[in-house]
Structure 1
């Protein structure tokens, strides 16, 4: 029987951005597993995965409604995000493995309101940027079923530690006018880390109906107990009275989660896959408080993929296309709504698609 060739651990946690993609700062992509890695559990091997992740976010949403006037008036915020994700995995006997995920991130953010203001015209649009190491993750995995007794399917669980190695206090200059620049912390969506030590949980599973058709699912959750990291959201200025009143003067350290499921078809060295993907930054965390500034929301995508298997390597491409985006109310929005009696809900910019291209080597 031809092995399903999509590689496990293709998408490990970047650095918390992954973010739905864009101003909703989901920096992770979770895991991906199929039969090929389960078959390795009887021997000791190494695997290196090199993943390239890119997206451009620019479509603003409040709830599920797109704010089309933002692009029409040239006041939209545009994030360009690229991550090189290096994952080294040691595969042990008896279904155990250990992975080290090291992300390197480059972000650019183009806006008017952070600089000369939305009424400043095209000349008021400027960039802030960030570059460097992201939040490293160490993860242990275990296949639960004996592959010799259950050759068609398996279930894998993973527990990980996310370390605050990414600079969550990154600064750049905000251009206020022709003669004035102010040094301040860049927006939360392009910070390199969140400043929190987190814990990740994963459940990955697959089932092969025959030598051609199979199915997979991946569940991932990042628990961030720290409530906020103390980094100002005022971009070099003074926090507003409203930001102080509702707790958004500093950046939150949010949880995040992802669900993926789909089917794949293998023919010779090729595997085609089609699935559904949902990424979310919730308004409230499982553990710890939920105050501080965050843009909670989720994105649902249709995710096609293509893999090609060599003897010791696999190359792949996955491109999720957004079909639903929702910037939900944050805790601060809820508090403001309750205090004023007027519904409050911020906006966030989302991408149309996300590109994951890479390769993995076994040695």
Structure 2
């Protein structure tokens, strides 16, 4: 490779990493559930096939996301404020996939949360919450046995959400001139207190040389209405926390980098959020419905059985619509804090 060409590629890679490394997360309504890694959706960059690991193969994925939201929104409008709530969270996720057959896999996700929030409204204070989140156990099936003649495949998955995470964490706060133990904000709670289930899909389609179209989507169904945890809110219908549905999706194109074995760049669109109304059950209580749509650049590097991926979604659209209690009681539209960027890093190893 000519030196100038090599330098150009290194600059491009460094730019992607720096953009991702600066990224901060999207805010109070970002989905807590984890998204599957893309190593099954992108060709092995040394000329192999998509994620065709052997039967009885175990894959362990360590994921990390950072949330630091301080941009104030009502609806889809950002509003300047002299002071802002800063909601900072570190979300770690341990994902496991065990290949039972060429098409069937057992999947599991174990999230761990650590976050702080400087809450300015009563009860005001700095809240810090750490703990295990809700665990997901399920199965995935690829529709076609790979490799396929079309160069594409689709997988579907279903998981049970077990309410293992704490949903009533408290912090020290100032309320009516006294220091009290108050319930932390809903966005800080590692769990939601309800049983649920998640349906997902992912797929790929080969395009040109070492390029793929990829897509992923998942929806968390939470039939439980409210969980009985108080919010200290005085607005009608918002004194108890709601147990909310969540969704995640992303679609884009990946491209293997010529003459740089094991490296691929990707560019796509990512969306996530909390709907106003759940698809199953009632949607009473306090929730921050909202959606974030982001431009999603990323890179993946594969070395034998290990894959490192870094994504840096850049928020293009943010919206905090009114919740069910706000609609029913004709009260003002609530607010939410978002950030401009997020960082998502994962490391996968196939044993």
Matches within 5 A, 1:202-351: 202-234=200-232, 240=234, 243=235, 246-267=236-257, 268-337=261-330, 344-351=332-339
Offset of residue 137 of structure 1:
0.6
Alpha-carbon distance between aligned partners in 1 of 2:27 and 2:148, rounded to the nearest angstrom: 44
Cα offset, 1:183, TM superposition: 0.4
Contact 2:30 2:292 in 1 (8 A): no
Whole-Å separation in 1 of the counterparts to 2:99 and 2:151: 20
Aligned residue for 1:63? 75
Hey, what does 1:16 align to over in structure 2? none
Q: CA RMSD in A?
A: 1.8
Q: Could you tell me how far 1:99 is from its partner in structure 2?
A: 1.3
Name the CA shift for 1:166/1:52 in 2 (closer, same or farther; >3 Å): same
CA–CA distance in structure 2, aligned partners of residues 115 and 310 of structure 1: 50
User: What's the counterpart of residue 97 of structure 1?
Assistant: 105
SS in 1 for 2:332: coil
Using the alignment, how far apart are the partners of 1:316 and 1:148 within structure 2?
23
Instruction: Report the Cα distance in structure 2 between the residues aligned to 1:258 and 1:104, rounded to whole angstroms.
Output: 18
Counterpart residue number, 1:3: none
Q: Per-residue deviation at 1:38?
A: 5.2
Task: Give the 3 Å change call, closer, same or farther, for CA 38–141 of structure 1 in structure 2.
Answer: farther
Q: Secondary structure, in 3 states, of the residue corresponding to 2:70?
A: strand
Q: CA deviation at 1:344?
A: 2.2
The match for 2:32 is 27
Helix, strand or coil at the partner of 1:94: coil
Matched, 1:47 2:52: no
1:197 equivalenced with 2:187 (yes/no): no
Displacement of 1:146 = 2.2
Question: Which secondary structure state, in structure 2, belongs to the residue aligned with residue 30 of structure 1?
Answer: coil
**1:248-270 CA distances to partner (integer Å, 9 max, x unpaired)?**
11000011112210000012210
Q: In the alignment, is the contact (CA less than 8 A) between 2:239 and 2:286 conserved in 1?
A: yes
Change in 2 beyond 3 A, CA 1:133/1:199:
same
1:143 matches 2:148: no
Q: Partner residue of 1:77?
A: 85
* Residues 1:230 and 1:115: Cα distance change in structure 2 (over 3 Å): closer
Provide the secondary structure at the position in 2 that maps to 1:334: helix
TM superposition score normalised by structure 1: 0.83
Partner of 2:346: 358
Q: Is the 8 A contact 1:42 1:92 kept in 2?
A: no
Residue 211 (structure 1) shift: 3.2
Aligned 1:151-166 pairs, distance under 5 A: 152-166=151-165
Q: What is the distance in 2 between the residues matched to 1:67 and 1:32?
A: 35
Q: Which moved more, 1:57-66 or 1:148-157?
A: 148-157
| Cross-structure match for 2:117 | 109
Once the two structures are superposed, what CA deviation does each residue of 1:319-351 show, in whole Å capped at 9, x if it has no partner?
1110110001110111122xxxxx621110012
Instruction: Kindly indicate whether the alpha-carbon contact (under 8 Å) linking 1:52 and 1:358 is maintained by their aligned counterparts in 2.
Output: yes
Relative to the length of structure 2, the TM-score reads 0.86
1:21-52 CA distances to partner (integer Å, 9 max, x unpaired)? Answer: 32225212433440558542652200110111
- Are 2:253 and 2:266, in contact at CA under 8 Å, matched by a contact in 1? yes
Q: Distance in 1 between matches of 2:200 and 2:160?
A: 12
Ranges in structure 2 where 5+ consecutive residues have no aligned partner: 1-24, 44-48
SS in 2 for 1:280: strand
Unaligned runs of 5+ in 1: 1-19, 117-125, 338-342
| Distance change >3 Å, CA 39–CA 352, structure 1 → 2 | closer
Q: How many angstroms apart in 2 are the aligned matches of 1:21 and 1:103?
A: 18
Q: SS of the counterpart of 1:333? A: helix
